[in-house]
């Protein structure tokens, strides 16, 4: 924290030097716009120092934020633990592992012990019931698979033309 304050002080000091050089220009503009609000030079300098300090602090904060975000992203994408690898081998998917981690953290149990916790057991039973109900639903009927054979040899010419027109959709 002291390093931040020291660098902030240095920024303010450099800002004061810039302020002194720009005062000459401001005196000229102050004379030109005398109908505007008047502030004493001391108050103006004080406000400018605060603005410079705020800008430098803001820019430093923006520079440090992306570094912090990448660190948190790297921490969340850590490799699997041994217990998680064993659970994946048993057939657990990523959602199951996430839920199991929540249960384990909330109850203070290991992943292996959290498998037997009533919250996780209820979760797995619910998922199994949903899978079972999906498999049990009947699909739509696609009609009869068998087609009656038509004997064209015994048809008259007119019957054959009618049958051909029906099949062709005319």
Tell me what percent of the residues of the chain surpass a pLDDT of 70: 64
Q: What is the pLDDT of residues 122-167, one digit of tens each?
A: 999 999 999 888 888 766 666 666 677 778 888 899 998 998 898 8
Please give the span between the terminal C-alpha atoms of the chain, in angstroms, as a whole number: 89
Q: How does DSSP classify residue 169? A: T
How far apart (Å, rounded) are the C-alpha atoms in residues 46 and 42?
6
d(CA 3, CA 44): 27
Beta-strand runs (E) in 86-142? none
The first and second tokens of residue 2, run together, are: 């002291």
Contacts for 99 with CB less than 8 Å, ≥ 6 apart: 120, 123
Residue pair 130/103 in contact (Cβ under 8 Å)? The answer is no
Q: pTM higher than 0.75, yes or no?
A: no
Structure tokens at 90: 């048993």
pLDDT given at position 122:
95
* Inter-CA distances, 105 with 21, 65, 143, Å: 60, 28, 54
pLDDT in the model for residue 73? 46
């Amino acid at each position: 924290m002291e390093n931040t304050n020291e660098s902030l002080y240095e920024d303010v000091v450099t800002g004061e030097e810039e302020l002194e050089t720009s005062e000459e220009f401001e005196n000229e503009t102050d004379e030109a716009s005398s109908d505007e609000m008047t502030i004493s030079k001391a108050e103006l300098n004080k406000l400018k120092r605060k603005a410079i300090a705020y800008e430098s602090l803001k820019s430093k904060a923006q520079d440090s934020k992306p570094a912090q975000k990448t660190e948190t992203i790297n921490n969340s994408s850590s490799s699997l633990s041994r217990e998680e690898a064993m659970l994946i081998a048993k057939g657990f998917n990523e959602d199951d592992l996430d839920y199991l981690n929540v249960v384990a953290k909330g109850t203070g149990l290991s992943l292996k012990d959290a498998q037997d916790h009533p919250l996780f057991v209820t979760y797995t039973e619910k998922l199994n019931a949903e899978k079972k109900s999906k498999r049990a639903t009947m699909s739509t009927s696609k009609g009869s698979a068998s087609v009656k054979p038509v004997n064209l040899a015994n048809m008259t010419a007119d019957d054959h033309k009618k049958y051909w027109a029906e099949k062709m959709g005319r």
